[in-house]
Amino acid sequence: MCGIVGYLGNKKAYPILLDGLLKLEYRGYDSAGISTIENNHISILKDKGRVNNLASLPDINKLSGTIGIAHTRWATHGKPSRENSHPHMDNSNTFSVVHNGIIENYQELKNFLMSNGYHFISDTDTEVIPNLIHYYYEIDKSNNNRFLHAVSSAIKNLKGSYAIEVICKLHPDTMIVARKDSPLVIGKGNHENFVCSDIPAILSYTKSFYLLNDGDIAELFVDNINFYNDSLEPISKELKNIDWDTSAAEKDGYDDYMLKEIHEQPKAIRETMGSRLKANEPCNFDDLSLTEEYLKSINKIYIVACGTAMHAGLATKPIFEKLCNIPVFVDIASEFRYRNPIIDKNTLCIFISQSGETADTIAALKLSKAMKAKTLAITNVIASSITREADYTIYTHAGPEIAVASTKAYTSQVTLLSILAIYFAETLKVDKEEIIFSLKNDILQLPQKIESILKNVNTIKEFAHQICTEHDIFFLGRGTDYSVAMEGSLKLKEISYIHSEAYAGGELKHGPIALIENGITVIGIITDANLVEKSISNIQEVITRGAKTFIVTNQDLGNHTFNEVVRIPDINPLISPVLSIIPLQLLSYYISKAKELDVDKPRNLAKSVTVE
Q: Look at residue 51 and tell me if it is in a domain.
A: yes
16 and 154 share one domain: yes
Q: Look at residue 600 and tell me if it is in a domain.
A: no
Cα separation, 187 vs 587, in Å, equals 39
Please give the distance of CA 586 from its chain centroid, rounded to a whole number: 20
96 and 225 share one domain: yes
333 and 467 share one domain: no
Instruction: Quickly list DSSP for 447-504.
Output: HHHHHHHHT--HHHHHHHHHHTT-SEEEEEE-THHHHHHHHHHHHHHHHH--EEEEEE
Q: Look at residue 220 and tell me if it is in a domain.
A: yes
Query: End of a domain among 243, 271, 305?
Result: 243
- Contact, 102 vs 96, CB < 8 A? no
Based on the structure, what is the number of domains in the chain?
Answer: 3
100 and 215 share one domain: yes
Q: Look at residue 487 and tell me if it is in a domain.
A: yes
403 and 386 share one domain: yes
Q: Look at residue 451 and tell me if it is in a domain.
A: no
Q: What is the reported pLDDT for 539?
A: 92
Q: Which residues pair with 226 in a beta bridge?
A: 219
Strands 171-180 and 217-220, sheet pairing: antiparallel
Q: Which residues pair with 4 in a beta bridge?
A: 71
Dihedral through CA 88, CA 178, CA 401, CA 440, nearest 10?
Answer: -160
Query: What 3-state class would DSSP assign to 603?
Result: coil
- Contact, 557 vs 525, CB < 8 A? no
Q: Look at residue 152 and tell me if it is in a domain.
A: yes
Query: End of a domain among 193, 216, 243?
Result: 243
Amino acid identity of residue 392, one-letter, is Y
Please give the distance of CA 211 from its chain centroid, rounded to a whole number: 18
- Contact, 421 vs 323, CB < 8 A? yes
- The number of C-alpha atoms within 13 Å of 43 and in the hemisphere containing its C-beta is 18
pLDDT, tens only, 516-552? 999 999 999 999 999 999 999 999 999 999 999 999 9
Q: What is the reported pLDDT for 48?
A: 83
Residues of the chain with pLDDT under 50: 610-611
- Contact, 420 vs 319, CB < 8 A? no
Query: What 3-state class would DSSP assign to 99?
Result: strand
305 and 215 share one domain: no
The phi, psi pair for 284, rounded to 5°, reads: -120, 115
Q: Which domain holds residue 216?
A: 3-243
- Contact, 26 vs 600, CB < 8 A? yes
Cα separation, 405 vs 493, in Å, equals 10
135 and 18 share one domain: yes
Q: Look at residue 279 and tell me if it is in a domain.
A: yes
197 and 287 share one domain: no
Non-local (6+) Cβ contacts of 111 within 8 A are: none
Q: Which residue, among 203, 180, 304, 175, has the nearest Cα to 610 in the 3D structure?
A: 180
Strands 41-48 and 31-38, sheet pairing: antiparallel
Q: What is the reported pLDDT for 295?
A: 95
34 and 129 share one domain: yes
Alpha-carbon distance values, 27 to 7, 467, 502, 611 (Å):
19, 30, 27, 11
CATH number for the domain including 542?
3.40.50.10490
467 and 338 share one domain: no
Question: DSSP code of 550?
Answer: E
Q: What is the reported pLDDT for 75?
A: 64
Cα separation, 520 vs 507, in Å, equals 18
pLDDT, tens only, 111-153? 999 999 999 999 888 999 999 999 999 998 777 899 999 999 9
CATH number for the domain including 66?
3.60.20.10
78 and 92 share one domain: yes
- Contact, 17 vs 69, CB < 8 A? yes
- Contact, 419 vs 276, CB < 8 A? yes
Q: Look at residue 496 and tell me if it is in a domain.
A: yes
Cα separation, 271 vs 229, in Å, equals 37
Cα separation, 40 vs 365, in Å, equals 45
Please give the distance of CA 151 from its chain centroid, rounded to a whole number: 29
435 and 536 share one domain: no
- How much is the pTM? 0.78
Q: Annotated active-site positions, please?
A: 2, 607
Query: End of a domain among 243, 271, 287?
Result: 243
